[in-house]
Amino acid sequence: MRTASLLRFCVPLATALALHGAQAQASYPERAVKMVVPQTAGGPSDVLGRTFAQKLTDALGKPVVVENKPGASGNIGSDIVAKSRNDGHTLLVNILGILAMNQTLYKTMPFDAVRDLDGIGRIVNSQIVLVAHPSFAPNTIQELVAYARAHPAGIVSYGSAGTGSPQHIGGELLNAKAGIQLTHVPYKGAVPALQDALGGQIPLAIVGLPAALPYMKAGKLKGIAVFGHTRSALAPEVPTFVESGYPSIELELAYGIFAAKNTPRPIVVRLNQEIAAILKQPEVRERLVAAGFEISGGTPEELDTHLKSEVERWRPIVRESHAVAE
């Protein structure tokens, strides 16, 4: 009797849930979709956000509008999405490493990336590069380490996209592994850091390769080393930290699109399918590769799993770097 009663309850419930999911997919989107970029305008994340917003506008039939919400190493913008209605109308473009690092870097967090965000899909990867103003004497990591050791501690500075950014962590790892003391100068994004490096206000900057590549090609900045495990095909002349004698200094930027937790599965699946289709468009691939990105892609489940593994991976690395954000 109990089994029969339970079945009479569960079958209509399952049917209702399936119908709700189908209705959610059919009616989505009901209004404009907000694409939150938690970094400054003009940087690599912004380029990605605007590229996908334009294409998703065409695919979804409703405007997809980019909103830049920089600050607190991406926490401000990410928190907006984490606390938004889970209906797929507010999306996030962010770097997995930033979401993962912040869980350890900050003493208190306004949200938990794994608990509060649903992965939609990975989109691209890119390298991080240490660049220098052409007037700065060192041309290699070995020369930079020797130069830093020969001068008073802290006299050589490097700019990054902000306190707690992967670029900042990379700089602090270099300090720890090489036994030197470069001074960190945080900026609100890669663009202002690059501007000061180009103007000679700071000798070094650690930024995403897509942001630095045009200036490297023009000879306005020189590449010292990339943080990836292999050289970038876009800047093959720049060695890696690994081959320069620092095998534990390895960072890469993986970008993904997220929504608030418990977004209806049909909406997540549809967005993932649309993103996969966009990544196959020749004009998009050409634009992203030219900008210094490597195409990735993947399922929502793969992105969720990757984010969880990144949180565990970065916890000891962040602690070893001694970087702290308030």
Higher pLDDT, 164 or 166: 166
Arithmetic mean of pLDDT, 230-235: 90
- Burial string for 142-165 (b: 16+ CB within 10 Å, else e) reads eebbebbeeeeeeebbbbbbbbbb
Arithmetic mean of pLDDT, 276-297: 93
Arithmetic mean of pLDDT, 192-213: 95
Distances (CA, A) of 168 to 46, 50, 264, 295: 19, 25, 36, 25
Strands 294-295 and 117-132 turn out to be antiparallel
Average pLDDT of the residues of the chain? 90
User: Residue 10 — pLDDT band, cuts 50, 70, 90?
Assistant: low
Instruction: Tell me the residue ranges of DSSP E strands in the chain.
Output: 33-37, 64-68, 90-95, 117-132, 157-160, 183-186, 204-208, 222-226, 252-260, 294-295
Q: Is the pTM of this model over 0.95?
A: no
The pLDDT of residue 102 is above 90: yes
Whole-angstrom Cα distance, residue 149 to residue 78? 39
- 45-49, 259-263, 291-295: segment of lowest average pLDDT: 291-295
User: Residue 38 — pLDDT band, cuts 50, 70, 90?
Assistant: very high
Domains (range + CATH), the chain: 31-126+253-321 (3.40.190.150), 127-226 (3.40.190.10)
The pLDDT of residue 317 is above 90: no
